[in-house]
Amino acid sequence: MVERKKVLLRLDPAVHDALTRWAGDELRSTNAQIEFLLRRALSEAGRLPGNAGKMRRPGRPRKDEPPDDDGAGDDPST
């Protein structure tokens, strides 16, 4: 599996709270919601690289899915 990049992102607290609520509604972590929105914006702009890996589906992984051991969906702030 390809190692995922880590970035520090500074957000207005109100924007973070809105993202956290939206992520909860979508059964995603805040981190996964931000990545989802960035990917959607890149795709709509025609800038999503063809070699970008797929995102895991929202919600709990199915029992037959391998565990997500890279921490991509983990967000300690939620």
pLDDT in tens, 13-70: 999 999 999 999 999 999 999 999 999 999 999 999 988 877 766 667 778 866 654 4
Looking at the whole model, is its pTM more than 0.75? Answer: no
Distance CA 30, CA 23 (A): 5
Q: Is 48 within a domain?
A: no
Q: Is 77 within a domain?
A: no
Q: Is 71 within a domain?
A: no
Q: Is 67 within a domain?
A: no
Distance CA 49, CA 17 (A): 29
Q: How far is C-alpha 68 from the chain's CA centre?
A: 13
If one counts the domains in the chain, the total is 1
**Range(s) of the domain holding residue 25:** 13-37
Strands (DSSP E) found in the chain: none
Helices (H) and strands (E) counted in the chain, each on its own, are 2, 0
